[in-house]
Amino acid sequence: MEGVEGDGDLDLLADLIGHFGQVRVEEPQPEREPVLSSFDAEGFVKYLLDNNCKKVVVMAGAGISTSAGIPDFRSPGTGLYDNLQKYELEEPEDVFSIDFFRENPNPFYDLAKELYPGHFKPTPSHHFVRLLQDKGILLRHYTQNIDTLERMAGVADDKVIEAHGSFATAHCTDCQEEADPAWVKGRVFAGDIPHCQRCGGVVKPDIVFFGESLPERFTRGFRKDLADADALIVMGTSLKVHPFASLISYARKDVPRILINRDRVGEDGFAFYGSAFDFDAEYRDVFMGGTCDDGVRVLARLLGWEEDLDRLVADGNTAFETERQRHGGTDGDNTTEQQNGREGDDDDDDDDGDGEDEGDEGARSTEENDKGDENGGDGDGDSAAPAADDNGAVTEKQES
Ligand SMILES: [Zn+2]
């Protein structure tokens, strides 16, 4: 500690203070003017308006999709894994291991039927991100989710970065040939394994499995985006899966950050290179407890956008229902013109009548990898599951 060394009285004082844990003796904070006028949604929105912010970065996790009824597919016991028992997996999570997938893609594709986009409709939180885009102030939306609901809500492809990939694109696991995602989906819902039309290898949607790298768009883009950001909105994530979680550290030191989540998270300085959330400092961080949908509604109201949000939600619901009726309630369009490589093991019972089970958030289990994290239905923010090290190589989920 500068200027204190050798001064016995101050040393003692520092020791005592440190002992009581009231002050961070090691890193005295210089006096600084608070960035925000108040440390709540009002203060955050006032900052956006007063500073004419146009480069808002959003970071989202499973919590923004909770109210859509997206199953927490990482948690065995939610029912999602029940029909995988016949595969006798050693670890249910093997479904998302790339090595296992190469050996046996059937369990994944069984599960994928339940996870495929089309069953679910965007939540108000997704529409709020769309609204940020429409108002011209969204720099980028980073999501851990693979459900593509932000795209369904109309967020442009170049505005969305799916850190753990998504079903929106697909590639051959052997020759890397790109496959038409609609065709892949058709095969899956027909109970088939999609095989590469060029080499016959197994085709996989580009969701990131354990053992795979994170998408290049993510690893290459986030530093610049966060450095350019003039405000950061973090929603529905436990900030436990790195490197996604560490994005908050890359925002400039005076950029306001709001966390909308059931629980306070991201305060562990060690995990965030000194740029953890510090809600108590009353400097630039705001914690807004509650659901994402409630939180964005408050922000929309304060921004004067409440009617816009209502309209987007209503239009989105109409479009979703129209689309569903157009497909007769199933996702299995363009089905059976190609029957190659059937593994014989598929159950064809995808009549899909269960595509509607929304709002089951109470049943979500969050026990795995979140010790003591009472996120409840808010999810632990990492719906795609794989964690990665800083080189972008996906390892296993890791505690931070
Ligand atoms: Zn191929």
Domain ranges of the chain: 1-31, 41-378
From CA 205, how far away is CA 118, in angstroms rounded? 15
In the DSSP assignment, the letter for residue 10 is: H
From CA 383, how far away is CA 29, in angstroms rounded? 36
Q: How far are the Cα atoms of 82, 83, 233, 380, 383 from residue 237, in angstroms, in the given order?
A: 26, 28, 11, 6, 9
Structure tokens, 247: 């994005």
Catalytic annotation on 242?
no
Residues constituting the chain? 400
Q: How far are the Cα atoms of 22, 113, 191, 308, 344 from residue 348, in angstroms, in the given order?
A: 62, 11, 5, 42, 10
From CA 367, how far away is CA 373, in angstroms rounded? 8
Q: Which residues surround ligand 1, an ion (CB under 5 A)?
A: 172, 174-175, 177, 196, 198-199, 201
Residue ranges of the binding site for Zn(2+): 172, 175, 196, 199
Distance 335 CA to ligand 1 centre (A): 20
Using one digit for the tens of pLDDT, what is the confidence trace for 62-101? 899 988 887 655 555 666 666 677 788 887 778 888 989 9
Catalytic site residue from 164, 171, 242, 327: 164
Using one digit for the tens of pLDDT, what is the confidence trace for 313-365? 999 999 988 888 887 654 443 333 333 333 333 333 333 333 333 333 322 22
C-alpha angle 293-287-246 in degrees, rounded to nearest 5: 95
Helix (H) or strand (E) holding 115: helix 106-115
pTM for the structure as a whole: 0.73
Instruction: Tell whether the model's pLDDT for residue 222 goes beyond 50.
Output: yes
Q: What is the pLDDT of residue 112?
A: 86
Using one digit for the tens of pLDDT, what is the confidence trace for 29-51? 567 899 999 999 999 999 999 99
- Least confident span in 25-29, 61-65, 246-250: 25-29
Using one digit for the tens of pLDDT, what is the confidence trace for 269-284? 777 777 999 999 999 9
Q: What is the mean pLDDT of the chain?
A: 78
From CA 288, how far away is CA 313, in angstroms rounded? 22
Architecture of domain 41-378: 3-Layer(aba) Sandwich (3.40)
Sheet of 203-207: strands edge to edge? Answer: 178-179, 165-172, 203-207
Residue ranges of the binding site: 62-66, 72-74, 144-147, 172, 175, 196, 199, 237-238, 261-263, 292
Q: Which residue has 């038409």 as its token pair? A: 180
From CA 170, how far away is CA 176, in angstroms rounded? 9
Distance 400 CA to ligand 1 centre (A): 37
